[in-house]
């Protein structure tokens, strides 16, 4: 049997780091054992799901390099959920309930006031046919609850180890709303069954759902997949990440010039005690990946660390990789190798491209010095030995050395106080611009 994993985002927003982590880890686990990876769009919430978000999620996944073997949409599968509904009803596991939201709210408040857990009291389970008919006659439409076996559900979680959840203290979950639409649980389990999902990896906010899903799998006569629940990501201060989700959406990261591999490298390790390694592609990340390395403790996500990692990745990035990412006309390997150590994001390359090919206003403090230095610029083609020859001549002829020598030249030629090695920049900037900038002209 082929191992099958799935990532199941709801298209009610764009992906953020928390979802991306689950997508990546599912993808890595699938690839690790030669399994398949399904992208499932949980779009049963018709009011909040949009096509734009569904497409946006696919775009973000492609950007990360997480290709899926199958794409499924829950909105296409209503008939399958209806069939499962009938099956569960016939098995006596679903019962109609007629309470309104207000009535349920009132019950909950009363239980809380009496210091009782706010668990559904199964009143509807005791309704007689006559009582049910009376509700229907009133025009009430039932919602349907799944009758849980009141027992401890156990599984061996691939992250949390042995997990036991007592369903005796849980409310029977509502599977179908009074308007006939299924809520998350039923479609999720039915899809996992129908698609042959063998491994479910999701956030630890789903631990108690898993207990009731296991009961639903069994009630449908289906095999129960393996489960792993990853601790949620926290912000750098240990607070919840969700409040900052906006600033962490993948598309904002992309727009901010982050390389997808920085996100992949970081998210494959966050929550393990292993160091984040730098890899230029996903096959490198895959090599050292092991879901067994993840701990149950919450992992902190620090956007600053991500930026630093991004810079490190760029500093080692080959020209072959970089040329696909640079959105600049006419760049060369020489240019990339000269500047890659001085950028934090790929977009920073543009400013250095302007220094090399565009027009900048030189910083001039001592015009006389620059004028004299210009006269000593070596004749002929400039190469990466020219800077040394030039500055040696300036030192000998004009009697300046160290910072007093290098800084004015750098500032005149690049309009910056720091940056790439000047021996590499000199041939890239070229004689004409060098001479113009040394004479103080914008060039
Ligand atoms: N749409 C659900 C979520 O985003 C899927 C959970 C699951 O993996 O089953 O939380």
Which CATH number characterizes residue 395's domain? 1.10.10
* Region of poorest pLDDT, from 29-38, 250-259, 370-379: 250-259
For 360, other C-beta atoms within 10 Å of its C-beta total 19
The pLDDT value recorded for residue 250 is 93
Quickly state the pLDDT bin for 248 (edges 50, 70, 90).
confident
Residue 245 has pLDDT above 70, yes or no: no
Mean pLDDT of 199-226: 98
379 and 394 share a domain?
yes
Q: Total structural domains in the chain?
A: 4
Question: How much is the mean pLDDT over the chain?
Answer: 95
Residue 383 has pLDDT above 80, yes or no: yes
Residue 343 has pLDDT above 90, yes or no: yes
Residue 194 has pLDDT above 50, yes or no: yes
The pLDDT value recorded for residue 238 is 84
Does 44 contact ligand 1 (Cβ within 6 A)? Answer: no
Mean pLDDT of 280-297: 94
92 and 170 share a domain?
yes
Does 18 contact ligand 1 (Cβ within 6 A)? Answer: no
The pLDDT value recorded for residue 241 is 77
Does 96 contact ligand 1 (Cβ within 6 A)? Answer: no
Q: Note the Cα 420 to chain centre separation in Å.
A: 32
Greatest distance between any 2 Cα atoms in the chain? 109
66 and 204 share a domain?
yes
35 and 108 share a domain?
no
Mean pLDDT of 183-191: 97
Does 11 contact ligand 1 (Cβ within 6 A)? Answer: no
* Region of poorest pLDDT, from 75-79, 130-134, 325-329, 392-396: 325-329
Mean pLDDT of 127-136: 97
For 183, other C-beta atoms within 10 Å of its C-beta total 16
Does 10 contact ligand 1 (Cβ within 6 A)? Answer: yes
Separation of 188 CA from ligand 1 center, angstroms?
8
Residue 186 has pLDDT above 80, yes or no: yes
Quick: pLDDT tens for 101-123.
999 999 999 999 999 999 999 99
Quick: pLDDT tens for 396-422.
999 999 999 999 999 999 999 999 999
Q: Which domain holds residue 286?
A: 243-322
> What is residue 143's three-state secondary structure?
strand
Residues whose CB is less than 8 angstroms from the CB of residue 211 and which lie 6 or more positions away in sequence, other chains included? 153, 165, 167, 170
172 and 189 share a domain?
no
Quick: pLDDT tens for 423-440.
999 999 999 999 999 999
How far are the Cα atoms of 236, 262, 279, 303, 342 from residue 309, in angstroms, in the given order? Answer: 15, 6, 10, 10, 14
The pLDDT value recorded for residue 240 is 79
Quickly state the pLDDT bin for 205 (edges 50, 70, 90).
very high
Does 269 contact ligand 1 (Cβ within 6 A)? Answer: no
The pLDDT value recorded for residue 247 is 58
Does 8 contact ligand 1 (Cβ within 6 A)? Answer: yes
Residue 244 has pLDDT above 80, yes or no: no
Q: 368 lies in a domain?
A: yes
68 and 140 share a domain?
no
Torsion of CA 48, 51, 57, 63, to 10 degrees: -160
- Stronger pLDDT, 18 or 245, i.e. the higher one: 18
For 243, other C-beta atoms within 10 Å of its C-beta total 9
Helices 367-375 and 403-414 cross at an angle (nearest 10°) of: 90
Does 342 contact ligand 1 (Cβ within 6 A)? Answer: no
264 and 356 share a domain?
no
The share of the chain scoring above pLDDT 70, in percent, equals: 99
Q: 39 lies in a domain?
A: yes
Does 43 contact ligand 1 (Cβ within 6 A)? Answer: no
Which CATH number characterizes residue 195's domain? 3.40.50.620
From 6, 9, 29, mutation site for ligand 1 pocket: most ligand atoms within 8 A of C-beta = 9
pTM value? 0.91
Q: 328 lies in a domain?
A: no
- Specify the residue with its C-alpha closest to ligand 1, atom 3: 9
257 and 381 share a domain?
no
Could you identify the atom of ligand 1 that is nearest to the CA of residue 7? 8
Separation of 343 CA from ligand 1 center, angstroms?
37
């Amino acid at each position: 049997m082929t191992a099958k994993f799935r990532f199941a985002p709801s298209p009610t927003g764009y992906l953020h780091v928390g979802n991306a982590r689950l997508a990546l880890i599912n993808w890595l686990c699938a690839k690790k054992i030669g399994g398949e990876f399904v992208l499932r769009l949980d779009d049963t919430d018709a009011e909040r799901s949009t096509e734009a978000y569904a497409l946006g999620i696919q775009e973000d996944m492609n950007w990360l390099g997480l290709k899926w073997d199958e794409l499924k949409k829950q909105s296409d599968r209503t008939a399958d959920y209806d069939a499962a509904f009938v099956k569960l009803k016939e098995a006596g596991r679903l019962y109609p309930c007629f309470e309104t939201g207000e009535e349920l709210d009132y019950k909950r408040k009363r239980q809380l006031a009496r210091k009782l857990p706010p668990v559904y009291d199964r009143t509807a389970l005791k309704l007689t046919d006559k009582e049910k008919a009376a509700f229907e006659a009133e025009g009430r439409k039932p919602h349907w609850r799944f009758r849980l076996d009141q027992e401890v559900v156990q599984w061996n979680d691939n992250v949390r180890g042995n997990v036991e959840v007592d369903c005796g203290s849980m409310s029977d979950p509502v599977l179908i709303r009074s308007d006939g639409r299924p809520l998350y649980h039923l479609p999720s389990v039915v899809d996992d069954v129908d698609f042959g999902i063998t491994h479910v990896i999701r956030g630890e906010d789903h631990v108690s759902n898993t207990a009731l899903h296991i009961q639903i799998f069994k009630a449908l006569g289906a095999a129960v997949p393996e489960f792993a629940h990853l601790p949620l990501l926290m912000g750098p201060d240990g607070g919840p990440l969700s409040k900052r989700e906006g600033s962490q959406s993948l598309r904002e990261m992309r727009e901010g010039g982050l390389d997808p591999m920085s996100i992949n490298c970081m998210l494959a390790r966050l929550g393990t005690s292993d160091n984040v390694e730098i890899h230029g592609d996903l096959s490198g990340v895959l090599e050292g990946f092991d879901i067994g390395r993840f701990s149950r403790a919450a992992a902190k996500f620090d956007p600053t660390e991500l930026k630093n990692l991004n810079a490190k990745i760029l500093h080692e990035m080959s020209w072959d990789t970089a040329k696909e990412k640079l959105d600049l006309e006419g760049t060369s390997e020489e240019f990339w190798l000269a500047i890659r150590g001085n950028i934090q994001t790929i977009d920073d390359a543009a400013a250095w491209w302007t220094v090399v090919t565009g027009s900048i206003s030189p910083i001039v403090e001592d015009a006389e010095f620059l004028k004299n230095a210009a006269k000593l610029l070596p004749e002929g083609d400039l190469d990466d030995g020219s800077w040394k020859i030039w500055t040696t001549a300036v030192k000998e002829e004009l009697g300046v050395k160290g910072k007093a020598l290098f800084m004015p030249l750098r500032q005149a030629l690049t309009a910056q106080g720091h940056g790439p090695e000047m021996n590499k920049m000199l041939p890239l900037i070229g004689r004409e611009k060098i001479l113009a900038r040394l004479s103080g002209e914008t060039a």
